[in-house]
Amino acid sequence: MAGKRPATGRRIPLVFGSKKIKRGGKDVTVQLIAKIPESTIKALDIKLKPAAEAKTAPKLVKDKKGRLYLPRSGGTGSGKRSMLCSADGVAFYSVVIPTNCSYGLAKTVLAKNSKAIVFKTPAGAAQILGDSKKLKAKPAAKKSPAAKK
């Protein structure tokens, strides 16, 4: 993508909200937490509260045969869902979507708590939420010189 900026700085865990889910047959309230790079937080002026730091060492558990393994739940985070956000419509920043959080919920939370007004999900075109007067004009595409005959 042409306008995507690389992320720099450490990744800070931010809380997108909380949600009730079923885990092991019980209703549990979980926090929707995503780790976002510092550069993205500063560029989009994201004002979500930071999450309490999780345990640094993942805990190994035993299966029925006594073998140790790393559980999938609890955030090994091998597959990340993300969307592109922009405050001006030109420079886009990738924001990771927390597990159990929909793209729609993430868009509304970011629209309320940041300067981001343009959102691109993997499913479709850019969506503008908020004041479209803040958008900048896209830079003109360079035309290749016409072939000489």
- In DSSP notation, 5-50 reads PPP-S-EEEEEEEEEEEEETTEEEEEEEEEEEEHHHHHHHT--PPB
pLDDT digits 0-9 by tens, 101-113: 889 999 999 999 9
Beta carbons of 54 and 104 less than 8 angstroms apart: no
Q: Please determine, for residue 56, whether its predicted confidence score (pLDDT) is greater than 70.
A: no
Q: What is the pLDDT of residue 110?
A: 92
Q: What is the pLDDT of residue 58?
A: 65
Average pLDDT of the residues in 83-90? 88
Question: Residue 139 phi/psi, 5° resolution?
Answer: -65, 145
- The rounded mean pLDDT for the chain is 81
Q: What is the pLDDT of residue 84?
A: 92
Q: Please determine, for residue 74, whether its predicted confidence score (pLDDT) is greater than 60.
A: no
Type of residue found at 103: Y
pLDDT tier at 76 (50, 70, 90 boundaries)?
very low
| DSSP SS3 for 108 | helix
Q: Please determine, for residue 97, whether its predicted confidence score (pLDDT) is greater than 60.
A: yes
